[in-house]
Amino acid sequence: MTAYVIARLGKAPVHAEVLTYLERIAATLVPFAGRFIVHGGAVDVLEGDWSGDVVVLEFPDATHARSWYQSSDYQEIKPLRTRHLTGEVILVDGVEPGHVASQLAATIRRATDR
């Protein structure tokens, strides 16, 4: 099942280390079949509070995503980002093709009906 690494990163002044991180991150994704889906595009807040930029990386599955994040190549460049940008990073599974929300609701109803 496809998995995604999603980051919400606070805005910060441009720093040379962050630019180096950006220059090097693509090469760390290749061995794990990762790719950018979203990389700091415009955010239109429809509900709630939001600040910062969004980054979404796609991987074939959670194992690939976790292996990328834990890889020595990524861990080597990660401090170039974390020293200058704050935020959250999560790993989440996608849904199977043909996912239907009403089927999920039916499963939850059956599990909670007594």
Query: Could you say which DSSP state residue 32 is in?
Result: G
- Residues 82-96 have pLDDT tens digits of 999 999 999 999 998
| Residue 114 reports pLDDT greater than 70 | no
| Percentage with pLDDT > 90 across the chain | 78
Token readout for 43 is 């955010």
Q: Report how far residue 45's alpha carbon sits from residue 55's, in angstroms, rounded to the nearest whole number.
A: 15
Instruction: Report if pTM > 0.85.
Output: yes
What is the spatial distance between Cα 15 and Cα 84, in angstroms, rounded to a whole number? 7
Residue whose structure tokens are 């109803």: 109
Tell whether the model's pLDDT for residue 15 goes beyond 90.
Answer: yes
Question: Of the candidates 44, 64, 66, which has an alpha carbon nearest to the alpha carbon of residue 54?
Answer: 44
pLDDT at 12: 77
Given a contact cutoff of 8 angstroms between Cβ atoms, the answer to whether 69 and 31 are in contact is no
State the pLDDT confidence band at 16, using cuts at 50, 70 and 90.
very high
